[in-house]
Amino acid sequence: MAMDWENYGRDRYGDGSLSEYHEYSYKTSGSYQGNFYRGSSYVEGNTVRHMSALPERRREERPVREPRRQPERQPVRIPGISGRAFLFLTAMLFMVVGTGFLYLSSKNTVAKQKSEIVSLQSEIALMKEENDETYQSIENSVNLAEIYERATKKLKMIKEKKDQIYTYSNKKSDMVKQYANIPGAD
């Protein structure tokens, strides 16, 4: 028997029609076994899908419910928070915010003072450097030979002699009391 390629696989896709061979095989044997298509992807036995195999669904008519009326809602009170507790919590919140503000302002003041200290320290370092340079220039400008010559010739100073030098040692304390003016010191 020749293969009917036009009707090949119709029962597979559920249109309910069978090829002539299948109809013949079904009528003679009483059951559809599909021996002709062994190894193919056809479903055999009671799992074959037929369009009319499923019964129609029963549809129950449900009674239509009328919408329930909701009573008007009353404002919900928060359990556990009274007016006094709310005021207390508000006061605490303001205290925390105020303390934070004071902390940040004091931290800002400290930062400004640190920057001022650093600038003053740099000024002091510059002044010390200038003073050292000025002192060094004064030291370099002083000529001891010139001073000695000026003192001896112009001011008529003479060198002291050994018998003119008096040393004093104070055994009681480092402080010296002066009872009268030194003569010739005026």
Distance between CA atoms of 33 and 31, rounded to whole angstroms?
A: 6
Q: What is the pTM of this model?
A: 0.34
Give the pLDDT confidence of 144-186 residue by residue, as tens digits: 888 888 899 999 888 888 888 888 776 777 676 778 887 776 6
Distance between CA atoms of 33 and 19, rounded to whole angstroms?
A: 14
Q: What is the mean pLDDT of residues 54-58?
A: 66
Give the pLDDT confidence of 72-98 residue by residue, as tens digits: 887 776 677 788 888 999 999 999 999
Q: Which residues contact 152 (CB under 8 A, 6 or more apart)?
A: 158
CA-CA-CA-CA torsion sign (94, 96, 97, 99) = positive
Q: How confident is the model at residue 140 (pLDDT cuts 50, 70, 90)?
A: confident
Greater confidence (23 vs 137) lies with: 137
Amino acid residing at 126: L
The answer to whether 96 touches 88, Cβ cutoff 8 Å, is no
